Structure 1
Amino acid sequence: MARGTTIKKTISPIKILSIDVGGSHVKAVVLNSEGQLLQQYQKITTPSPANPASLIKAIKTLTKDFPPYDYISVGFPGYVKNGVIKTAPNLDNTSWKNFNLSKKLGTALGKPAKVVNDADMQGLGVVAGKGLEMVLTLGTGFGSALLLDGNLLPHLEMAHHPFTKHNTYDDYIGEKALENLGDKKWNKRLKKVLAVLKTVFNYDTLYIGGGNARKINFKLNKNIKIVTNEDGIKGGARLWATPNEQSPVKVPAKKVNHQN
């Protein structure tokens, strides 16, 4: 080798399999390190019963023809601690208790996996990274996440906190409430919830996602934005981003645009 010759290392682009587990569907896509979709967003019906074995099988079926990926990110509808599921109220609480989904799914798919609450992962995908930002997901249940300057704050299971004397947030504006009450009364309840959250959290921006966000029929404040599941699943890329130089994924600060 000639003196002074510099060897340049070629760094392969990192690809992340991002999975959003919901009460009705499991969604997945492969992303690049900037959160851009490398394929069409795909989904499969959530199995019933939705126990660990059936869910992992469904994920393997859904992703069997996906392009190659290096890491796995999962948003799960329940309380998650260090990749271990503590609660899964809209799936099967008993079978999921203390189940290490990050380890088991990583083994099943042969790649390192990280698992967080689904609203937390959606928050990573949609927030602007400025000030106190709150994320709500309106789906089978009621999900929530808080981020400060783009960083996740400790997860609060607001869904199971009492909103009225007899109803939790899940009971009050979850999927069953929507089905029983109809769109008009459900929207009236949602207005009450948003008024309470505005007073309690004094957020800079609120993002509302989940399948039932499309049912909202009243005008929202300027600092409230509707986001899609496709936006939220991009948080899978940010889940692997860390502040240190050893991070496998480098995600730029710029975020995706949101619907108004």
Structure 2
Amino acid sequence: MIILTIDVGGTNVKMLTTAIDEKRAFPSGPDLTPEQMVAGVKEKTADLEYDVISIGVPTPVVQGKIFREPHNLGKGWVGFDFEAALGKPTKMTNDAAMQAMGDYHGGRMLFLGLGTGLGSAMIVDGILQPMELAHLPFKNSKTFEDYIGVRGLERLGKKKWRATVLEVVKLLKAALEAEYVILGGGNARLVDEPPPNTTLGNNNNAFLGGFRMWDQSIGGASLRVEEREAPRVIRHTGESDNKITTLFLDIGGVLLTNGWDHNARILAAKEFHLDYAQLDERHHLTFDKLETGRLSLDEYLDRVVFYQQRTFSRRDFQEFMLNQSQELPEMLEFMTAVKKKNRLHVIAVSNEGRELNEYRIKNFQLGNLFDCFISSCFVHLRKPDVEMYRLAMDVAHAQPKQIAYVDDRPMFVEIARALGINGICHRSLRETKHSLLALGLDVDV
């Protein structure tokens, strides 16, 4: 079997087969349509023999189909039948996911593609999850792609751009609990000193990833990589588009106690002999910036507690805050078992300040349950902002009806339902279990 891999980028379309070590290419650009892409491929490969095709495209791909029009190409990609147009059996994935498959060597790997835009994918223990991190908000109402895509490089210059890349890598590595990061794409070569546990990928591995979509043995790889959605391809299984593939979970009030909430602040006022009304007022004037990552915990405490001399230490107060987070063991065990039994993708959608969020992730080993964390401190948005839910859907590559969302706040559940997500207001393990069962999940765990 001869495989043709097509790597569709914002600047060029590149091709390579398993039979001949000779790359072919032609320009793409912001106006490239799928019809033009197919015509270019046929022209450039007219003298080549191949049996099957892999295509990587710079946009979300769900169950082998383009989910949204690419930001850096022309129109008409959604719904286009590439297999019919090219006349060969064809598999399609996100372009970053395709290179990630070629670069992967075990564990939890985050791939970031630095090119015209920003590609991203995560592989966890051999399970591939394409991601859409590019359009998450980063700074000054701009996205990650605005800063470390080609627009950011042109605006910032190489020195500032490199520093920003290092900042983004550190942030996303922490948010996604990655063991290591691979930087790919045409501009990765400009990162002359990658941060710890980060290496520059070989861009030829995009072709290797495409080959491995058909034959995992190519390239001498000893690790299998499985696209997470492959078991749910409708034409093979007859499953409905509405089958639940993804869980969005709040953390406080669902898996853990609500850490620094109203009750915890009452306890703090009693424990440290504070004026509760003053503490609560200062908290409400400040917590939005804390939870959206615009204030550190130290800055928050300076404004809320240590704006005057105290008889207790900052360390004692911080320890008290952290200790208010306690595990709800039955829920954590139940959700972990449900994920495994139903082969679900699980994403945290939570409001939390950075330091408390990181403490919870590490102390309660939440990385064992969650595939990624859409935390307010990372994305600079807070529930009930509807954009936070939309970002989570983009990262999950899931339709609203394929998502079950569990939260203990009724208003947050109502907003999710308005988007078409299956919202569950958590009150008890028994009620949540019943609600998940009604959505078709196997909860006999």
TM-score tier (shorter): 0.7 to 0.9
SS of residue paired to 1:176? helix
Relative to the length of structure 1, the TM-score reads: 0.79
Report whether the alignment pairs 1:112 with 2:86.
no
The partner residue of 1:205 within 155, 159, 180 is 180
**Relative contact order, higher structure (CA 8 A, sep 6+):** 1
Report whether the alignment pairs 1:82 with 2:63.
yes
Report whether the alignment pairs 1:17 with 2:28.
no
AA aligned opposite 2:66? I
User: Residues 89 and 219 of structure 1: is their aligned pair in 2 closer, same or farther, counting only changes over 3 Å?
Assistant: closer
Is residue 118–residue 144 contact of structure 2 (8 Å, CA) maintained in 1?
yes
Matched residue pairs, number?
221
SS of residue paired to 1:234? helix
| Distance in 2, Cα, partners of 1:48 & 1:142 | 15
Report whether the alignment pairs 1:175 with 2:143.
no
User: Residues 219 and 138 of structure 1: is their aligned pair in 2 closer, same or farther, counting only changes over 3 Å?
Assistant: closer
SS of residue paired to 1:237? helix
Report whether the alignment pairs 1:54 with 2:36.
yes
Q: Which residue of 2 aligns with 1:231?
A: 205
| Distance in 2, Cα, partners of 1:220 & 1:235 | 25
| Distance in 2, Cα, partners of 1:190 & 1:212 | 11
| Distance in 2, Cα, partners of 1:178 & 1:44 | 23
SS of residue paired to 2:76? helix
| Distance in 1, Cα, partners of 2:11 & 2:25 | 10
Unaligned runs of 5+ in 2: 224-445
Deviations 1:151-182 (A, max 9, x none): 212x3211111122411111111111111221
AA aligned opposite 1:50? L
Q: Which residue of 1 aligns with 2:222?
A: 254
Q: CA deviation at 1:28?
A: 0.6
Is residue 47–residue 54 contact of structure 1 (8 Å, CA) maintained in 2?
no
The partner residue of 1:134 within 79, 86, 110 is 110
| Distance in 1, Cα, partners of 2:62 & 2:170 | 30
The partner residue of 2:123 within 147, 150, 168 is 147
Q: CA deviation at 1:201?
A: 1.8
Is residue 124–residue 150 contact of structure 1 (8 Å, CA) maintained in 2?
no
Deviations 1:85-133 (A, max 9, x none): 22201112x432x223xxx3322332100110000111111111x2111
Q: Which residue of 2 aligns with 1:64?
A: 46
| Distance in 1, Cα, partners of 2:165 & 2:29 | 29
Aligned-residue identity in percent? 37
Q: Which residue of 2 aligns with 1:42?
A: 24
Instruction: Supply the RMSD in Å over aligned alpha carbons.
Output: 1.8
Is 81-90 or 189-198 further displaced after alignment? 81-90
Q: CA deviation at 1:253?
A: 3.4
Is 45-54 or 143-152 further displaced after alignment? 45-54
Is residue 28–residue 73 contact of structure 2 (8 Å, CA) maintained in 1?
no
| Distance in 2, Cα, partners of 1:172 & 1:64 | 39
SS of residue paired to 2:163? helix
| Distance in 1, Cα, partners of 2:167 & 2:139 | 11
Report whether the alignment pairs 1:28 with 2:15.
yes
Is residue 16–residue 23 contact of structure 2 (8 Å, CA) maintained in 1?
yes
AA aligned opposite 1:112? P
SS of residue paired to 1:163? strand
Q: CA deviation at 1:19?
A: 0.8
Structure (1 or 2) with the greater helix fraction: 2
| Distance in 2, Cα, partners of 1:42 & 1:177 | 29
| Distance in 1, Cα, partners of 2:41 & 2:211 | 18
Unaligned runs of 5+ in 1: 1-13, 33-37, 242-248, 256-260
Q: CA deviation at 1:184?
A: 0.7
Is residue 10–residue 29 contact of structure 2 (8 Å, CA) maintained in 1?
no
Is residue 10–residue 30 contact of structure 2 (8 Å, CA) maintained in 1?
no
Is residue 30–residue 72 contact of structure 2 (8 Å, CA) maintained in 1?
no
| Distance in 2, Cα, partners of 1:64 & 1:179 | 37
User: Residues 48 and 61 of structure 1: is their aligned pair in 2 closer, same or farther, counting only changes over 3 Å?
Assistant: farther
